Chains A and B, each alone.
Chain A
Amino acid sequence: MSAVQAAARPESAQKVLSLYRQLLRQGNQFSAYNFREYAKRRTRDAFRENKGVRTAEGAGAGAEGLKDLQMLKGKDEPGHGETMRQKDTGV
Chain B
Amino acid sequence: MANLAPSVLRQASRLASKSAISTAPRRGVQALSRAATAPAPARGACKRCYVTQSKSDNAQVQVDTAIRLDRAELEKAGAVLETQNGSTTHVSPMADVLKQAVKMDEGQRPIYLDMQATTPLDPRVLDAMLPYYTGVFGNPHSRTHAYGWESEHAVEQAREHIAKLIGADPKEIIFTSGATESNNMSIKGVARFFGRSGKKKHIITSQTEHKCVLDSCRHLQDEGFEVTYLPVNNLGLIDLDELKAAIRPETALVSIMAVNNEIGVIQPMAEIGKICRENKVFFHTDAAQAVGKIPLDVNALNIDLMSISSHKIYGPKGIGACYVRRRPRVRLEPLISGGGQERGLRSGTLAPALVVGFGEACRIAAEEIEYDSKRIKYLSDRLLNGLLAMEHTNQNGDPKHFYPGCVNVSFAYVEGESLLMALKDIALSSGSACTSASLEPSYVLRALGNSDENAHSSIRFGIGRFTTEAEIDYVLKAVTERVGFLRELSPLWELVQEGIDLNTIEWTQH
Contacts and interface: CB of A to CB of B under 8 A. Distances in A.
A42 B112 CA distance: 19
Contacts of A89: 120-121, 123, 126
Contact of B135 (A42, A81, A91): A81
B399 interface: no
B91 interface: yes
Contacts of A86: 91-92, 95, 98
A91 B466 CA distance: 14
Given A28-B80, A80-B136, A34 B120 contact: yes
A28 to B, nearest CB: 7
Interface in B318-336: none
A83 B134 CA distance: 7
A68 B465 CA distance: 17
A83 B120 CA distance: 23
Nearest to B131: A80
Interface in B112-159: 112, 120-121, 123-124, 126-127, 130-131, 134-136
A85 to B, nearest CB: 6
Contact of B123 (A28, A81, A87): A87
A35 B465 CA distance: 9
A88 B95 CA distance: 11
Contacts of A21: none
B57 interface: no
Contacts of A45: 371
Interface in B434-487: 465-468
Most buried by B among A81, A82, A85: A85
A38 B124 CA distance: 12
Contacts of A68: 124
Contacts of B467: 34
A32 to B, nearest CB: 8
B70 A71 contact: no
SS class, residues of chain A in contact with chain B: loop
* Contact-size category for A: 20 to 34
Contacts, number: 70
A77 to B, nearest CB: 8
A43 interface: no
Given A29-B88, A45-B371, A80-B136, A35 B99 contact: no
Contacts of B391: none
A9 interface: no
A31 B80 contact: no
Contacts of A33: 70, 73, 106, 468
A82 B112 CA distance: 35
B123 A31 contact: no
B52 interface: no
Given A28-B80, A31-B99, A33-B70, A85 B120 contact: no
A50 B188 CA distance: 49
A41 B131 CA distance: 28
A91 B84 contact: no
Interface of A: 25, 28-35, 37-38, 41-42, 45, 68, 71, 74, 76-77, 80-83, 85-91
13 contacts: A29-B99, A31-B103, A33-B106, A38-B466, A71-B123, A77-B131, A81-B135, A83-B130, A86-B95, A87-B123, A88-B99, A88-B102, A89-B121
